[in-house]
Structures are given as C-alpha cells and as structure tokens.
Structure 1
C-alpha cells in the first residue's frame, strides 16, 4: 500500500484535493487502536524484565576542557501561505474592491488577494459569469466541488437545475450575470465563518455595483441572510421583494430556495415555483 512518502508533491496535492472534494476533513487510521491497552501491555512487559546489577563504571582519563560551542542561530520560522482573517484583511479587501473599475479588473484584484483563508484550500477563484450589464443578477452562496473544479458558478448538477428553473420563467443564463457571495469553496462545503463572509463582502458588493443590475435573484439561506443582513431563515425571507442599497443605489431583490435545497427536499419545488412566478411578475411590473 502506498504511503504519503511514496507520492511526489503533485500527486499528494491531487490526493488532498480529492479528499476535500469528497468532504473529508479529518484523516484517521483504517482500524481503531486501543492506546490504553497498548500502554498497559508495555508496562506489564517492562515489569517482568529482571533488573541487572549495575557494572562498575571505569574511570575515564582526565580530558582537556571541551571547547565551548558557539550558540547556533535560531532557525527562521517556516513561511506559510495561510492568511489569518482580521480587520486588516477586511480593509485590504475593501481597498482592492474599490480600486476596480470593471469586472475584469475586479477579478484580477481578487485573484491577487491573499487575505482570506478560503483561498488557500480552494482550487481556484469562482468569479461572476454571464452578461456584464444584466437586467437580472443571480447570487448564490458559495461554490461547491463541481464549481471549484470547473472554475464557474453553478456549473454542475445544481447549475443544470438552475437553468431549468430560469427557463421556466423565460430567462436564459446567457442574459444574466451569475455569481456567489463567497468566491472560494470552503473545505468540505462547510458554511463560511462570519469573518470569512466579512472579508468577502466588499467583493460581492463591488460586483453588484459594477454590474448595475435592475433586479437581484438571491438563492438560499446564506446568501439571503448575507445580503438582507438578517437572521431570519430562507423560508421567512423568500417570496417577497426587498431592497438592498449598494454604493448609494437601491436595487430590488427577491429571495428563493437554492437548487441544493430542492435536491435535498424535492417537496420544496412547489414553493420555488411560486417564488419564480412572483419574481417574473415583478420584472414585468
């Protein structure tokens, strides 16, 4: 059986990404090991070993005093690529976002930004995709494993379901701008922490400001709470028009269930369909 020592860095990196895509967060041994029993057996074994008499130690001839070794310089701390989220990282994100004058510039700024821990575990940045100045902007929560692999938002099975949802009310992906609140996939698809969300906020708000959409369609619990700055659940926030203010501009926003919610609980599809019809009616009104 191969061990980590048998793999070169590229193979080991690919293996770790495979584990992350599979949702593995802790590495354990294949079989449970009873360390207490091991210790007791070791102690019992040591207890039956007969004690040997100590042999006389011959006197060593006197030696010249040993040369005093010079103290060695302390080893430099290993460099790490892990960013620690703090208030400085939020300030750096705000500066990077505000300096971008187009979506292309914003993407470049986000690719160069190293202030969020999520970037160190994700394969790539998953940036907004679609029409640069859309009438409708669709915003989800965060990339999943398929998005992280392809580098595109809603690229896999959830993307196919979203396409069907939009097609049902006469909207096509090519006419929209689709993105996520958080642009890097968290390990194991866990929810982003509050600090991680705070660091990502300037980037998503700048995306909205640069795209200048007429309406927002917000998908899922995390994205709705984030954009509406609310602690209510998606079932309390869905189905109603609200306004959010971005760069001094009020934008009508409407929340509904995320495609993942519908895959987990298919019975919720009827609620999503009601929401989509109400959203479509709001676009025409």
Structure 2
C-alpha cells in the first residue's frame, strides 16, 4: 500500500495537471450541497448615477458577468490581417475557456489556401502544441486529405473555438457566441472558395442548424461568414471515425465530393 504522506511540490503539480486534463475545474467542500435547494443568485445592477440638480442621467443596467459578445464582434471586425486577428484573440480575455487552456490554438496550414477545414475545439494534444488536429485524429485527417491529393500546404485548418474546453466537453452556447465573431473574421480574411466542417458541433455552428451530422453530412450549401459567402460541406470528425471505423465509408464519399468540387473550380 502506498505511504500516506503529504505530497511534495512536484507531486502536487502533477496531480493538479491530471485534474485539469480530466476536466475538473471546480473545488468542492467536505459536506454535500443540495443545489436544488439553493436560490438563484440575485440580479446585480449598477446604481443610478445622479447628475446635476439630482437628475439621474444613467438608468440602472444589468451587470454583465463574463464576456460581452458585442466586444468580441468589435474586436474581430477591427482585424485587417490574420496576424492581427491572432494577436487580438490572444489578448482577448472575454471567454473563460482561455483561463483553463494552456495556449491559443489559432490555425494551421496555408493561410492563402482556397480550401478551409473547420473543426470544433482543440483536444489535449492540440492544447499542448498550439495547432489544430495534431493528435491521432489529426494523423487520420492527414491521410484523408492525402487520399484526394491534398495536404496541409493546400488547406487552412481552424476550429470554431480556439481554446480547449475542460475535459474536451462541448463548448457552451455562451462560449460559442464569444468565439464565433473571431471565426467569421478568420474565414473572411482567408476567403476560401470551399469549406468543409469536421464533426457535428462544427457543422451545427457553421450551418446554423440543430440537425445531426448524419442527416447533414455530404450535402453542399452556401454559407455566409460575415461578408464572405462560400460553398460548404459537412463530414464526420476523424475522432469519430477512429471510434467507428465502419463510418469511414461515408466520410470517404464526402472527401470525394470535396475533390470533385475542387477540381471543377480548378483548385486541384
């Protein structure tokens, strides 16, 4: 049996790193808490500010806790290049995902490519390396691209969310609302002629739908990213294909559809 002793500094850091990788981001007390019995937090408002002669010149407003989507839209719209957009996004503190992630995962591939791939969010390996699709699913994606004559020098790869959610969970609607303006500006600046989404959450975000990936995959639609309209198609996420090899046949048909459309446009 292991010795029951206090952990040293390095051991405590290892344990905390393990908890972070597992998605644990909330400390709990010794006694259980009945969350259903708790009252919702009181609405916090800013006080009225009296002006001259006691006239109130600003009404009380709700105090926004967390990021402001309008700030994200303003920042994203101000970027005139991908380099500037990455810098602005790296300095942006409005999304809480940044506080738990190791680093920003902005993009990979060729920023001048005319084919863009969009995934959901970084995983653990992507969080460590700072690039999208570099783990086992990334290796499979590289093979999928190679099978139709593409590689990372011919495509541009990004995610709907640039920071890893704890435990690889799906980003919340609030987190998506804060990150989406940056994705839209990213697509505008790249201005691809074709877009492929990878996985259900990315498909639902890009196509603005609640439909499942099985129903939507393989179908071309025109999608708008700000002022840029582009033909887009959805396919299954490589991580899903690793867990369900039988689905590779469906993904292969989607890749062939991408190859055909790219050939028609003279991109291959």
TM-score greater than 0.5 by the shorter chain:
yes
Change over 3 Å in CA distance of 1:127–1:13 after alignment to 2:
farther
Give the aligned partner of residue 185 of structure 2.
Answer: 206
- 1:226 and 2:205 equivalent? yes
Give the aligned partner of residue 93 of structure 2.
Answer: 114
Question: What does residue range 24-173 of structure 1 map to in structure 2 within 5 Å?
Answer: 24=24, 84-86=65-67, 89-173=68-152
Give the aligned partner of residue 55 of structure 2.
Answer: none
Q: With structure 2 as the length reference, what TM-score do the two structures score?
A: 0.80
Contact 1:84 1:115 (C-alpha < 8 Å) held by counterparts: no
Per-residue deviation, residues 157-203 of structure 1 (Å, max 9, x unmatched): 11100000111111111111111000000000000000100000001
Give the aligned partner of residue 215 of structure 2.
Answer: 236
Give the aligned partner of residue 44 of structure 2.
Answer: none
- Distance in 1 (CA, whole Å) between partners of 2:189 and 2:31 is 59
- Distance in 2 (CA, whole Å) between partners of 1:151 and 1:212 is 23
- Distance in 2 (CA, whole Å) between partners of 1:202 and 1:141 is 15
Change over 3 Å in CA distance of 1:244–1:2 after alignment to 2:
farther
Q: Structure 2 residue aligned with 1:196, among 175, 181, 187?
A: 175
Query: What SS does the corresponding residue of 2:162 show, helix, strand or coil?
Result: coil
Q: Which moved more, 1:223-232 or 1:258-267?
A: 258-267
- 1:178 and 2:157 equivalent? yes
Give the aligned partner of residue 18 of structure 1.
Answer: 18
> Mind listing any 5+ residue stretches in structure 2 that lack a counterpart?
33-63
Give the aligned partner of residue 41 of structure 2.
Answer: none
Measure how far apart 1:242 and its partner are. Answer: 0.7
Query: What SS does the corresponding residue of 2:241 show, helix, strand or coil?
Result: helix
> Mind listing any 5+ residue stretches in structure 1 that lack a counterpart?
36-82
Q: With structure 1 as the length reference, what TM-score do the two structures score?
A: 0.75
Query: What SS does the corresponding residue of 1:188 show, helix, strand or coil?
Result: helix
Contact 2:22 2:166 (C-alpha < 8 Å) held by counterparts: no
Per-residue deviation, residues 112-155 of structure 1 (Å, max 9, x unmatched): 00000100000000001221121101110000000001111001
Contact 2:122 2:161 (C-alpha < 8 Å) held by counterparts: yes
Measure how far apart 1:2 and its partner are. Answer: 5.3
Give the aligned partner of residue 47 of structure 1.
Answer: none
Give the aligned partner of residue 250 of structure 2.
Answer: 271
Query: What SS does the corresponding residue of 1:250 show, helix, strand or coil?
Result: strand
| Aligned pairs, number | 230
Deviating 4+ runs (over 3 angstroms): 1-4, 11-15, 22-29, 83-86
